[in-house]
Amino acid sequence: MKRVLLLALAMAVAVSADAQTRAPASASTPTSSLDGEWRGKSDGGSCNAPLDFVITIENGFVDGSAFDTTAHGPVPNLKKAPPPAPTPSLWQIHGTVRSGATFPLIGVASVTAADRREGKLTARSDGGSLVISENSGCRRTVRLSRS
């Protein structure tokens, strides 16, 4: 009985280890010439708030974030006045690379549910870099390079 349990345990470990290995990408998996890690810092735009961008493109799918390194947390309110509205300091960037000159991206800010902020971005390849521009809001522009 102990031998059977030991054999079953050994088989379960071998099967689970085999299931956890990642299969290599097949030849039919679409890839994009923009695949890779991209980084850069935007200009401040009309808000004077530059963002640091970190974008990953894998098989044409864009996933990344942009964050404001100058954003501050809560501060004491010495004047007892209403506090200023918080500005988003972290944005999630999503989209799909499309063939052609430009492709759209969506940015969603991490703020409370009642104050959902969303922005549309336009991305384009420019030589060896990727240029992303905001279509509204602060109208920042960033030139990303591969890292």
The pLDDT score that the predictor gives to residue 100 is: 76
The pLDDT score that the predictor gives to residue 49 is: 84
CA dihedral 40, 45, 51, 52 (to 10 degrees): 10
Q: What is d(CA 90, CA 60) in angstroms, rounded to the nearest whole number?
A: 23
In a domain, 55, yes or no: yes
Instruction: For residue 101, count other CB atoms closer than 10 A to its CB.
Output: 9
pTM for the model:
0.69
Any idea what the CATH number is for the domain that residue 40 is in? 2.40.160
In a domain, 52, yes or no: yes
The pLDDT score that the predictor gives to residue 57 is: 94
Contact in structure between 63 and 94 (CB atoms under 8 Å): yes
In a domain, 16, yes or no: no
The pLDDT score that the predictor gives to residue 132 is: 95
In a domain, 139, yes or no: yes
Q: What is d(CA 19, CA 45) in angstroms, rounded to the nearest whole number?
A: 48
Bridge partners for 121 per DSSP: 105, 134
In a domain, 78, yes or no: no
In a domain, 23, yes or no: no
CA dihedral 84, 45, 113, 80 (to 10 degrees): 0
Taking the alpha carbons at both ends of the chain, their separation in whole angstroms is 56
Domain extent, residue 145, equals 31-70+86-147
In a domain, 115, yes or no: yes
Contact in structure between 119 and 107 (CB atoms under 8 Å): yes
> Domain count of the chain?
1
10-residue block means of pLDDT along the chain (147 residues)?
Answer: 57 53 53 90 88 94 89 71 68 89 89 76 91 91 93
In a domain, 94, yes or no: yes
Residue 112, CA atoms < 13 Å, CB-side half-sphere: 4
Which residue is associated with the tokens 């918080």?
86
The pLDDT score that the predictor gives to residue 5 is: 54
